[in-house]
Amino acid sequence: MNNFNVYVCGRLVSMLAAVLAFILNACSDDHVAGGVTEETRIYALAGRVGEVYPKIMNVEDAGQGTATLPQNYNNVLRAKKGTVVTIYEMDPLTLDTTGRFFVDSVGDDSGRFAFDDVSLKCPYVLIEAREPQKSLSKSVASNELLKAVVDLRKEGDINVNLLTTIKVPLLRSYYAAGESFDDANKRAERDVLEDLGVYEDLGSFDRAYDENSELAYVAQMLANAPNAEKIAADFRNYVPLYYVSSKIISVLDSEYNQYLLNTIKMINYDVASMARKSGLGRCTEARENEEAVIMVDDSYSPAEKMPYAIVCRSGNWVLGFKKIDYQTGSMEDSRDGKIYKTVSYNWGEVSQTWMAENLDFTDTISSTVDSALKVNLSKGLSCYRNYDGGCRLFGHAYSWMAAMNVGSDDMAEEVLSRDSTRDYEFHGSYVVPFTQDEINNHQGVCPDGWRVPSLNDWQILLKNMGALYGVGFNKVVPALYDETATGFGLTSVGNIGVDGDYNDLVFNNVFIVADMPPYKIEFFIYDYGNLAFESEQPHGSFGRMNGQRNAYNPDVYNPYLKGAVRCIKK
């Protein structure tokens, strides 16, 4: 790289003898402002100019809610070839520039610069980087400069970036007020981070960091800050990723896996920043489990705000809800050896133990499986969400008849009609010889000791949980997606990268219930973007399993339509 040193002689301002004596003392005492040597020394300086961001999933089309993994994703914004880098010697008392400066230029698109031999009396320097024609970062478009103030006695690669730029005036102010350079530097970095809702020490801003550094997430927040519409669009479409199933993470290849985990972490940083801007203050141990709501611009309707529930958890504000009382456990399905997480609630007059995962029993071969169940399963199974990856990620979907282990011979009445000219098919009313007591104790496809839940079981769950949160049963649904809060473990579903795409990732979940006529429980039938109780739209509904091909007759019951099964303990 070309290193052309332009040395400009500057004249130091005349000072009184007492002031000069103070400077000399300061230059030799690290505990006094300055802490430098008055002698001229030769220093070397090397570094890079530009930002580094974490590799996260991008939202290609916010209108469709599609998160994608970009091709040739470049998460580095480096200074372009020709960027001018200037270092200015600074006054040891005030950190004002003395008039002495040196210039280098970036020789390629790596953002690298180097000064091999710089003659300075004070090792504190101001670094400025300016692209020849336009701003290096849109975030600093007002002055088209990136800056850093550094101590050349500290070895290491220098990174000049947006964070160091924001820090400069704070550092200078604290130093001028009498703090040592190190103390002023640390305080300035702490203030920048705290203004963004980050209260941990993430390391020095001006030391080169990579995509795995926590500072990369802070840089991403700052880069997004001027674009409220992008923040809203990203946040809305990234939220489903926050509640993604651990099964998805386990089957993704390492690169996709890391992008997903990075995106979830990015959400946490964004939440922290929004909590700070909302005046919520720091999440401390004393505030553990405290709830709040942040309002985010609606990317579809900028005049509107979307509510997102957040909670103080382990020292950080995160998406979620306050934790209620529950007990977790596990059970093994003796038929195929699969192990499922369980969750138990004591509602006072009644208690419930649910599977905390969707049932995934598909055995139609083993001799130990009920013969009738084999037949019904062979006719009533499909992959959840109807795509190949759904089976291994979210379990299977069961028709009502398969879930209930009911065959057509058990039906008291069946009406099947087909209009051959229009190829429409619909099913009429069915009457199953079950009493209400039998419905409340029907095993169906569930393991021994467990049963298919009834409409009443779901109502008990949602109404009691809603009472704890102070909302109606059809608005408490978001809390079911927060496993820490409720233990129930609902997740967003869809295809997110297993087959190379990140799409169809939604919250909609449909569950089979035992009641007749066939009912279903459906969650997030409305806007899943409003992940809070304040939403005007209900997030859940109870309904008959009606509807069929082309909606020929929407009023009839259809026991062939499918949904997931969450078994409840007898």
- The per-residue b/e assignment along 37-56, b for 16 or more CB within 10 angstroms, e otherwise, is bbeeeebebebbbbbbbbbb
How confident is residue 8, by pLDDT bands cut at 50, 70 and 90? very low
Both tokens of 323, joined, read: 């934790």
Calculate mean pLDDT across residues 531-535: 82
| 3 state SS for 285-297 | HHHCCCEEEEEEE
Query: Hey, which of 142-146, 313-317, 515-519 has the most confident mean pLDDT?
Result: 313-317
| R_g of the chain computed on alpha carbons | 31
Indicate if the pLDDT at residue 351 is higher than 70. yes
- Could you tell me if 180 and 31 are in contact, meaning their C-beta atoms sit under 8 angstroms apart? yes
Selected residue with higher pLDDT from 509 and 229: 509
Closest CA to 238 of 197, 296, 279: 296
pLDDT tens per residue, range 131-190: 776 544 443 433 468 999 999 998 889 999 999 999 999 999 999 999 999 999 999 999
Question: What's the chain's average pLDDT?
Answer: 79
pLDDT at 18 over 70: no
CA–CA dist 166, 148 (Å, integer):
9
In which residue are the tokens 């190379």 written? 500
pLDDT at 529 over 90: no
pLDDT class of 554 with cuts at 50, 70, 90: very low
The token pair at 358 is 């969707």
**Which residue ranges make up each domain of the chain?**
17-221, 227-319, 327-569
Q: What pLDDT, in 10s, does the model give residues 397-448?
A: 898 889 999 877 665 444 333 333 333 333 344 445 577 788 888 999 999 9
Please report the pLDDT score of residue 444 as a whole number. Answer: 93
Confidence tier at 192 by pLDDT (50, 70, 90) = very high
Q: How far apart are CA 518 and CA 215, in angstroms?
A: 53
| Adjacency order of strands within the sheet including 509-512 | 509-512, 519-523, 540-544
User: How far is 448 from 278, CA to CA, in rounded Å?
Assistant: 50
How many angstroms separate the CA atoms of 468 and 447, rounded? 30
Give CA separation, 268 vs 99, 226, 319, in Å: 44, 19, 7
Neighbours of 544 (CB within 10 A): 16
Confidence tier at 38 by pLDDT (50, 70, 90): low
Least confident of 7-21, 232-246, 331-345, 468-482: 7-21
- Per-residue pLDDT reduced to its tens digit, 251-292: 777 777 888 889 899 999 999 999 999 999 999 999 999 999
Backbone angles phi, psi at 247, to 5 degrees: -65, -35
Backbone φ, ψ for residue 551 (5° rounding): 50, 45
For residue 184, the surrounding DSSP H or E stretch is helix 181-195
Q: Is the pLDDT of residue 24 over 50?
A: no
Alpha-helical regions (H) of 46-125: none
Cβ count near 20 (within 10 Å): 13
% of the chain at pLDDT higher than 90 = 44
Task: Report d(CA 421, CA 418) in Å as an integer.
Answer: 9
Please give the pLDDT value at position 66.
54
Q: What is the pLDDT of residue 552?
A: 37
Q: What share of the chain is helix, strand, coil (3-state, %, to 5)?
A: 30, 25, 45
Given the DSSP bridges, would you call strands 158-160 and 41-52 parallel, antiparallel or unpaired? parallel
Nearest Cα neighbor of 138 from 51, 233, 208, 207 is 51
Which stretch, 37-41, 88-92, 430-434, 472-476, has highest mean pLDDT? 88-92
Amino acid identity at 505:
L
pLDDT (average), residues 224-232:
77
In the numeric block, the tokens 């496809």 are attached to 445
| pLDDT tens sequence across 368-395 | 888 889 988 988 888 766 555 567 667 7
Cα atoms in the 13 Å half-sphere on the side-chain side of 235: 32
Cross-sheet strand order for the sheet of 562-563: 381-383, 396-399, 562-563
pLDDT for the residue numbered 11: 25
First to last CA, the chain: 75
